[in-house]
Amino acid sequence: MSPQNKQNSQRKTSALHEKTDKYTEFVSRGFGKDLAKRLGLPQPAVLRRYTPNGPLVQGPILVLGQGAGADAVAQVLLDWHQDVRRHATPKEKLGAIVAVLDELEHPDQLSTPMLALGAALRDLNKNARVVTVSRVASISDAPAVAAARNGVDGIVRSLAKELRAGATANGILLANDIAAQAPSAVAALRFFLSARSAFVDGQFLTASSAGSTTAPDWDKPLNGSVAVVTGAARGIGASIARTLARDGATVLVVDVPAAGDHLAAVANEIHGTALQLDITSLDAGERILEHAISRYGRLDIVVHNAGITRDKLLANMDAAKWDSVIAVNIASQLRMNEAFLASSDFANNPRIISVASTSGIAGNRGQSNYAASKAGVMGMVRSTAPLLSERGGTVNAVAPGFIETDMTAKIPFATREVARRLNSLQQGGKPSDVAEAIAFFAQPQAAGVTANVLRVCGQNMVGQ
């Protein structure tokens, strides 16, 4: 099979597994586009999503900033064979704008780069990217420095709500001892610029250490790695398994025995192995380790995806609904992590990535048990980070918003349509959007990115 035919086949296979938003398809072209415009209806763009060998961005990249950091970022982009501009050319369509603000010391310094950024926004291409590179605001900073750094937060989140045509705005936060061209910052920059971040909008990633200096393989970053994905029989979990396998990992997929047929189908599709297991079992972590080590001799990446909902208003909640959600969504992860951290076979720059939820950030009516479990996941991630750093590992979480799955397809039509449009991109995400974020956290280049909770929600209008 030719590379082009193989790529087309991969696209078709991926499309078969993902639900579609018929409204977005209808208003994106022809009569539907004209009708929506006349009636003042939402006109979500068809998002450009990642395909192997596709371009990083569609058009030149404008790099704003005057310091050494801006020069270094421009050189990184040139090394990636990108078309880089240091000054905007009127009416030239841009694929991205990168504003390097790593030397901010006072809010007065925001004016020049932000007005330059604003002047270039009208020239952005469809599905363009705006990325800021700035520093973490700390309680130890001088008040003016903290004010300037925190001001970038407000700018990015506001700008993300102004952009149109599938464009997104996100930011990279550097620890004080990290250079703008540090490997971890570069990895975050590539993720935000690429189509892998199609449904990530108005968000920040923190690079807390320099990260891996190993030469990156951007096409197959997970070559040689062994990963386990729980809840992998269908939906988001199956998409995670496919994406990790696409990026080079050997994947062990895990789900309950009742989902055995679907689980086996996923394992066969990605040339991995299946393990039927109830993750609430006291020995679940040990059994996963035993299977991975006996089969592959190692375990490098753990993705905690399995989760359930048992929704009820708290006034009507019973112990069975509450306890089952806590047991699956957070208690099992804590117990499995203890087993992984106790093992010498999970000690070579390991990765743990958990699937949280925007419900754990903003809460949701009738989901006090689910929100507790997902907020618990975020707390677990932040506290586990120091434990993993001792062995060169990282732990992060991805918090999806409205994602097109079998579960959301069962939501009543009107409720589903409202939920789809309540974000800056005015549409639901796809399971692959969650999977791409997880694959980013799993790659060696993200070794300096830990204790992050990245929302994959199109900048949902709730919470942060």
Q: Which residues are catalytic?
A: 370
Q: What is the distance, to the nearest Å, from the Cα of residue 106 to the centroid of all Cα atoms in its chain?
A: 31
Q: Nearest 5°: phi and psi at 164?
A: -135, 180
Size of the chain in residues = 464
The residues, ordered by sequence, that sit 6+ positions from 262 with a Cβ below 8 Å of its Cβ are 233, 234, 238, 255
DSSP SS3 for 446: helix
Q: Say if CB 76 and CB 189 are below 8 A apart.
A: yes
| Paired tokens of 443 | 């790659």
Q: Say if CB 402 and CB 415 are below 8 A apart.
A: no
How far is the C-alpha of 18 from the C-alpha of 405, rounded, in Å?
7
How far is the C-alpha of 136 from the C-alpha of 310, rounded, in Å?
38
The conformational region for residue 240 under phi > 0 = left, psi -120 to 50 = alpha, else beta, is alpha
For the chain, helix (H) and strand (E) counts, in that order, are 17, 13
How far is the C-alpha of 401 from the C-alpha of 200, rounded, in Å?
10
Q: Which amino acid is at 76?
A: V
How far is the C-alpha of 185 from the C-alpha of 176, rounded, in Å?
12
Q: C-alpha distances in angstroms, 378 versus 255, 371, 383, 450, 457?
A: 22, 11, 9, 12, 16
How far is the C-alpha of 341 from the C-alpha of 411, rounded, in Å?
39
Maximum separation of any 2 CA atoms in the chain, in Å: 63
Integer Rg of the chain from CA: 22
How far is the C-alpha of 148 from the C-alpha of 137, rounded, in Å?
8
Q: What is the DSSP string of 122-140?
A: GGEEEEEEEEEEEE---TT
| Paired tokens of 22 | 């018929």
